[in-house]
Structure formats: C-alpha cells, structure tokens
Chain A
Amino acid sequence: MSVVSVTTGPRRGWKSVSTWIGAVIVGIAMICALFAPLLAPHDPFAQDLGKRLLVPFWMEGTDPAHLLGTDQLGRDYLSRLIYGCRISMLIGVTVTIVSAVIGIAIGVLGGFLGGRVDDAVLFAITTRLSIPVVLVALAVVGLLGSSMHLLVITLGLLLWDRFAVVARSTTMQVRNLDFVAAAWCAGCSRFRILSREVLPNIASHLVVVATLEIALAILLEAALSFLGLGVPPPLPSWGLMIAEAKDYMFFSPWVIVIPGIALFVLVLGINLLGDGLRDAFGTHRTDT
C-alpha cells in the first residue's frame, strides 16, 4: 500500500509554555511592584553627581554597586527600574479598574436592555473610538497639570471601549440562553438576573479584556510620560526614564535600552498570559 497524503494535526504544549512565560514575567513584576522598597539596592531618588552615567554590568568599567549603572543624575538604574515597575503596574491595574467599571456597566446595559438604550450605547462607543486617545490624554494632563490621579482618571475615562464592546456582545448571547429565560420565568428581578446569571457568565471574556487593557494602559502611560505629560518627575516611570535619558542615547544607548526592554517584556508577559487565559477559557479573540 502506498501512503498518498499525510498531514499532521495541531501540536500542543507550545501554548502552555508561552502562558507560563507570561505568568512568570507578570509574577516577577508583581513582586517588584509590591516589594520595591525591599528589593531596590539604593534610593531611586538619591542623586550622586560624581557617579553619573555609570555603565551596566555587561560593559567594561562597571561599578559592582550599580548593576544596571546610573542615569545622568547618578541615580541607581536598577532601583529606578524596580520602582518604575511599581508605577507601571499601579497605573495599568487602576486604569483598568476604572475603565472596566465604566465599560462593563455601559456594555451590559446595552446588551441586556437592547432597543433605544443599546442604540445609545453603540453611539457612545462610536464617539469614544473617534476621539484620539493620546491627544486628549495629553491635552487634559497639559491643561490640568500632571499627577498620577489625573492620569489614571483620564486614561480610565478613555479606555472603556473594548470592555463595552465585549460586555455588550457577550451579554446579548447570554441573555438569550435558556437558563436566563428560566430565571425570568421564576420571577427573578432584573438586578438578580444581571448579577447572578449574566455577569458570572461573561466574566471570563472580561478577564481576557482586562489583561489586554492593563498592557495597553502601561504602554500609554509610558508614551505620555515620554512626552512629558504623564507621570511627573522625579518619579521613575519607565517612559519618563527614556525621555530623560534621550539626550544621552547616542553615546550611551543602554540608558534607553534598559527601561525600553523592561517595558516591552512586561507588556509581552501580560499579553502572553492573556492569550493563555483566552485559550483556557475557550473564548475567542474579540480585539481585532
């Protein structure tokens, strides 16, 4: 007998490896964020103008006390990086909480009530998408002055669209399922149906969206701080670190390479974890 055509099916394992990588990255970031004062070898704000722009450990002439070198003001780069992780995680999580509350409320209402309410929700989403996020966030911070609170509220008010889109569509699906109809028939109140039947069933989709939003918020904070209208100095935000080191990048490229890679790896880790969660929950991509 002759074999004519054989094709292999999907292989497993690779997906779980990448999920684990993501989980480890996020885990390390969370430890850095929570225990920054214990982990940082130096005070991230302490300037030492005698030790400016010391090179990191892989280059010649490094100072063993400063593993990742120092910045243009002689502040320890590793310590600033660890404190920067705290800022990134803090902003990512708080912005996502604000936007999740807004987006889920809007989306669930539209999907659950339908009709005029849903038309209004769709209109709100369209309007929100037409507003340029970076520009408006910059304008708000520029006009009102930079602070962490303002940044979180502004980004939270701008990033709820994906939560709303996903909450709306999944609520619509769940609304039409038999057990929700059964709950209606049993005389449950709207609030009870929403909280007991709908929300638990759309939660897995929303968790996946949340990971994406945390990653997006971290990137946006970095971009705004880079433009000088995000986290106020001397806080060690990674975006701000890149902005402050920009003038030295042609002679000491590592001053922007280090915080950039930290940012990239953290966002990648969150996305890998989100992808893994999506597969684990069996939900489909909703962001395109």
Chain B
Amino acid sequence: MSALLEIEDLAVSFGRTGAVRGTSLTVERGETLCVVGESGCGKSVTALAVMNLLARGARRTARSMRFQGEDLLGLSDTGMARLRGNDMAMIFQEPMTSLNPAYTVGSQMTEVLRRHKGTPQRVAVDRAADLLARVGITAPGLRLGQFPHQLSGGLRQRVMIAMALMCEPKLLIADEPTTALDVTVQAQILRLLAQLQRDLGLGMMLITHDLGIVARVAHKVAVMYAGKVVENAATAELFASPRHPYTQGLLRCVPVPGKIKRDEPLGSIPGTVPRVGPDFEGCAFRERCSFADPTCEHEIPRHQAGGAHDFLCRLPA
C-alpha cells in the first residue's frame, strides 16, 4: 500500500526567493511527522504547498506529490478542493483570525460537512456538537451559536481542530497550532492533538519550531533549513544521535533538566536563516556552521545513517 502522503523534490519560489528547494517527505497512515526548523526555513510553505493554498505569485514544482496514491500535481482546482477539508485538513498558527468573524461557530463547522458529504444540516449540527465535546469544549450546544469573537484563543483553536475533523480526514496538517497561545493552553492543545491522532488513527504533519513538542508527539522528524530537509530520523534516533550540525545546534538550544548544569550557558546558533535563490548551490547553513570549509559551496551528498535516518552534510561522521 502506498504511503498516505509522499512528496518528492518539492520546490516553491516567490520571485527570486526559493522558499522550498527540493523537499521530500513521507507521512504514513496513523503516523506523526514533525517538521522542525527556525522561522523562515520553509516549513509553513511546504504545508501550504501540499494543500495548494500558496499565496498568489508563488511557483510550485515537484517531481511527484501523492496523497493516498493519487497524484496531487495533476489535480484540477476543483479536484483539489474536493480533497481539502475532506480527506486532508489543516489547522493554522493564528486561531484569533482564522475563523470568519461574520458567522457562528456552528455554521462554519457544518458547512464543511454539507459541502463534502451533503449531510443534512440537522445531522451536521449533531456531529459538530459531538466533535466540540470531543476536543474538550464544555456546553457545545451553546458554543455552536456563538461567534468567534466571543471565544478565547484556546477555544478558537479547539474549534479549528474540531472543524478540521468534521469529515474524518486521513491527514491533518497542523502549522504551529500552539505558537499563538498561552503556555498552559499550548500543553492542553498538544495533548489533545496527540490523543486525537492516536484515537482516530490520523496521519499528522505537525509543523513546529519547539523541540519539546517534537519529543512528546512525533514518530519521526524532518529538520528543515533554508528550504531543504537537512535531516530525517525517527524521533528517538534524532535526539540520541543528531548528525547534521544544524540539528546538533538546535538540540543544544533546548535545556534538558538533569543533563544541563547550573550556570552553563545554553547553546545558540549565531545569525539567521539566509534568504536564498531557487538555484542556490551548496549548503545554506555553511555561514553559520563551525565545520564549514570550501567544499560546502558545492553539491552536498545525502548520507544514510542506518534505518530511516539520513542527513545532508559533506561530513559523513
């Protein structure tokens, strides 16, 4: 059986900026893939490219993009619209603004079901209420009649999650779903997502820059830098033996209780993610990398490190 989502060599450019430059990812059914990296490294653009929700002016190319074996590249706009919200759903980073202020929660939730399954309104309302209860919202009947501005950010994100689940999707793409929320709410939403993923057997692509989240929910991890996946590994493997200097740098920035000594400075990676063109050659991390040498300016081979672990660096070590 084919993988749930299989992307090969995806590239997205905005004018002269290469936001994504040859990214390959695979999500299996019932599996959580975390995509990590600093802001501006192309995580969100990758997600939007999968959903075909890129802003105007974006140019998307790929060798192949398959969802449940179906070719997404050849799909028409209407064909893609039939998949979105139905078999593949997405939740966003901005819960405060992602719901339409002019319509009630109920009307926004039920319209997905009516659109894709033709479900009668009454049945759709029941399902919406069930899902609201499921994502931990009390008094779902009341919430259905409320407008987004009457709900807190955490509640709105729960509504977004429930809305994404209306059509029982196979794949849920979550783009930094907790970044805009309070720390206590962040933990609740994450726990909820992890639980839903297990219970419903969802394939999930979770985009985050928070390695604490990765450690808790991911089955496998893809580390992105400047539009490329620089390291792929199962979660435990990645945390135990990161191979790419960028991954190593990221992990050094996370304080781990017990491992880190008092007064020892936390790691940091100097500089920021560079903006590179679509035809940039060599390793984009070389300017921030302590192992860089002139060979880094040329094509970099992808090394296999056993199992499903690979990384993109000239150093095989």
Contacts and interface: CB of A to CB of B under 8 A. Distances in A.
| Chains A and B directly touch (beta carbon < 8 Å) | yes
Interface of A: 1-9
Nearest to B64: A2
B262 interface: no
A254 B99 CA distance: 57
B54 A5 contact: yes
A6 B62 contact: no
Contact of A1 (B52, B54, B56, B62): B62
Interface of B: 9, 11, 15, 52, 54, 56-63, 73
Contact of A6 (B9, B52, B59): B59
B56 A7 contact: yes
19 contacts: A1-B9, A1-B62, A1-B63, A2-B61, A2-B62, A2-B73, A3-B59, A3-B61, A4-B52, A4-B60, A4-B61, A4-B62, A4-B73, A5-B52, A5-B58, A5-B59, A7-B57, A7-B58, A9-B15
A80 to B, nearest CB: 52
Contacts of B9: 1
Contacts of A3: 59-61
A4 B54 CA distance: 11
A8 B9 CA distance: 23
A8 B11 CA distance: 18
A233 B315 CA distance: 92
A6 B15 CA distance: 10
A7 B12 CA distance: 13
Q: Which of A3, A5, A7, A9 has the most C-beta atoms of chain B within 10 angstroms of its own C-beta?
A: A5
Nearest to A6: B59
Contacts of B11: 1
Contacts of B63: 1
Contacts of B52: 4-5
A153 B211 CA distance: 71
Q: Which of A1, A3, A4, A8 has the most C-beta atoms of chain B within 10 angstroms of its own C-beta?
A: A4
Contacts of B15: 9
A5 B11 CA distance: 12
Nearest to A1: B61
A286 to B, nearest CB: 25
Contacts of A1: 9, 11, 61-63
A3 B74 CA distance: 10
Nearest to A5: B60
A2 B62 CA distance: 7
A104 to B, nearest CB: 36
B60 A8 contact: no
A1 B65 CA distance: 11
Nearest to B75: A4
